[in-house]
Every structure is written in C-alpha cells, then in structure tokens.
Amino acid sequence: MIAAVGASASAPEAWLYLNPERTRPRPDGDAPRLVLFDRDGTLTVDDPPYNGDPARVRLRPTAREAVDVLRDRHIAVGVVSNQSGVGRGLLTRAQVEAVADRIEQLLGRFDAWVFCPHTPAAGCACRKPAPGLVLAATDALGVPPAATAVIGDIGADVGAATAAGAAGVLVPTAVTRAEEVAAAPVVAPDLLAAVRSLLPRAVA
C-alpha cells in the first residue's frame, strides 16, 4: 500500500506518497533520472471519469512495458494526477488511495504519487498545468526537474512539465484536443513509444 508523507513545500496542499524502498536514480547519459506519468487517460483508461472503484481500473496499452523499461534502467517512476473529483465531492481520499493501490498491483510499486484534490476554481499551486505536482515529486525524490520527464494525455500535463523545467511527452487519446497535439514538443502513439523517445537512441 502507498504510504502518505508530509506535504511538499512546492505544493503544500497536495497529497504526497513515497515508496520507502524507492529507486535511487542514477545518471545514465542522456536518459532522464525520473519519469512522471499522469494517471487517468495515460496509465489507465479514463472510464468512468472520477473513478474511485479499484475493480474498474483498466490499463492503457503498453503501460506495463513502458514502466518495466524504465525500472530496468534504474530510472525512478512516479505519478502526478489531478483528482478534482475530491474537491467536487465525488471521491474520497480513501478511494483515490484504493485506486492507486490497484494500479500498483497491476504495474508494480511507483516511487512517488502526488495528487491534487482541488477543483479548477480553487486557485491552488498544485493543479496541472501549474508545476506544483511535478516539483513536489522531484523534490521528494531528489531529482532536478531538468533530469525529469512527464508523460500525459492532455496539454495540462505537458504544461506542468514545461512550467517545472522538465521535459514533456504527449500520448494523445480521444479527448486530446488538436491544438494540444500541435503545441506538444514530443508526441508519441503509446506509452512505450513515449518512454523510448526519452532514452538515448542506442538503447531505445
């Protein structure tokens, strides 16, 4: 089960969880030391929206392969996720944690999870495209943002990466807008391709 820790100075109202046996990322040429994934629509199929039921978690194609490639190279992996369903009264913290636990059953342990529980109107520092979630994860894992990448399915994920000083990769789905695809610095057809785009060409 994921373990909650104290708030981060970068996003004091975010929910931060760390794996006590987390990866100690090591420099590896041009590869990032930390890759952060969005949750809904990226690691998992966003159906139903605001899912709080672990039994309804379904992985996106190549999610397992993508995460395994990173772990095999001793690259830390984490999740940064807006969960406005909490602020809207549609989800509880226990439900968010239960879904995260189910994802870890399917994909293995992540080094960090960081959630924003606020609605867009809350004006918090953590909700993507603000950089708070990304910075909270990099601070907690001791990895500079410049050595970090964020993979997501919408422009807010790429925007959070850019605002934090990290690399961003977009993996479009049916909900991704055309303008978000056009603006993304890197676009990949699936998660495994997104991960490979981050690795040196000789090993990708």
Give residue 30's pLDDT.
Answer: 80
Give residue 8's pLDDT.
Answer: 79
d(CA 124, CA 82): 11
> Would you kindly state where each structural domain of the chain is located, as residue ranges?
4-198
Fold annotation for 4-198: Rossmann fold (3.40.50)
| 37: its two tokens | 């994934």
Beta strands across the sheet bearing 148-152: 4-5, 15-18, 112-116, 76-82, 34-37, 148-152, 167-170
Give residue 4's pLDDT.
Answer: 74
Along the chain (204 residues), what's the average pLDDT of each consecutive run of 10 residues?
72 91 72 96 94 97 97 95 97 97 97 96 95 96 96 98 98 96 97 96 50
Half-sphere exposure at residue 150, Cβ-oriented, CA atoms within 13 angstroms: 39
Give residue 191's pLDDT.
Answer: 98
DSSP 83-151: -HHHHTTS--HHHHHHHHHHHHHHH---SEEEEE---GGG--SSSTTSSHHHHHHHHHHT--GGGEEEE
The pTM for the full model equals: 0.94
Give residue 137's pLDDT.
Answer: 96
Q: What angle do CA 3, 58, 13 make, to 5 degrees?
A: 35
Q: Mapping DSSP to helix (H, G, I), strand (E, B) and coil, where does residue 64 land?
A: helix
